[in-house]
Amino acid sequence: MLSTTTFTIYSKISELPKNWDDVAIANAFLQTPYLKVLETSAPTNMQCFYIGIFENSELIGVALAQYLNLNQLESFGERDKCLKTAVRNFVFKNFASHVLFLGNNMITGQNGYTFNKEIDFEHISRVLVECAEAIIGYFKKNRINIHLVSFKDFYPYCADALKRFDFKNIYEFNTQPNMIFRLSDDWKTKDDYVAAFSKKYRDQYKRARKKCDRVLTKELSLEEITANEERIYELYHHVAKNAPFNTFFLAKNHFSTFKKQLNEQFVLVGYFMEEKLVGFHTLLLNGTVLETYFLGYDSEIQKEKMLYLNMLYNMTEFGIEKGYKKIIFGRTALEIKSSVGAEPVRMSGFIYHRNGLINQYIGKIFTNLEPEAQWQQRHPFK
CATH of the domain at 213: 3.40.630.30
Q: Which domain holds residue 136?
A: 5-175+347-369
* 185 in the same domain as 333: yes
Q: Is residue 116 part of a domain?
A: yes
Question: What is the number of domains present in the chain?
Answer: 2
Q: Is residue 375 part of a domain?
A: no
Question: Could you list the pLDDT tens digit for every one of the 382 residues in the chain?
Answer: 455 789 999 999 999 999 999 999 999 999 999 999 999 999 989 999 999 999 999 999 999 999 999 888 765 444 445 556 666 666 666 677 899 999 999 999 999 999 999 999 999 999 999 999 999 999 999 999 999 999 999 999 999 999 999 999 999 999 889 999 999 999 999 999 999 999 999 999 999 999 999 999 999 999 999 999 999 999 999 999 887 667 889 999 999 999 999 999 999 999 999 999 999 999 999 999 999 999 999 999 999 999 999 999 999 999 999 999 999 999 989 999 999 999 999 999 999 999 999 999 999 888 876 767 789 999 999 9
* 189 in the same domain as 92: no
Q: Is residue 380 part of a domain?
A: no
3-state secondary structure 230-272: HHHHHHHHHHHHCCCCCCCCCCCCHHHHHHHHHHHHEEEEEEE
* 168 in the same domain as 229: no
* 107 in the same domain as 215: no
How many angstroms separate the CA atoms of 103 and 128, rounded?
10
* 170 in the same domain as 183: no
* 281 in the same domain as 186: yes
* Residues 6-22 as b or e (16 or more Cβ within 10 Å = b): ebeebeebeebbeebee
* 202 in the same domain as 86: no
* 277 in the same domain as 203: yes
Q: Is residue 134 part of a domain?
A: yes
Q: Is residue 379 part of a domain?
A: no
* 48 in the same domain as 130: yes
Q: Is residue 56 part of a domain?
A: yes
How many angstroms separate the CA atoms of 222 and 217, rounded?
16
Q: Is residue 274 part of a domain?
A: yes
* 190 in the same domain as 168: no
Q: Is residue 294 part of a domain?
A: yes
* 302 in the same domain as 210: yes
Is the pTM higher than 0.85? The answer reads yes
* 126 in the same domain as 60: yes
Cβ neighbors of 245 (< 8 A, separation 6 or more) are: 76, 77, 370
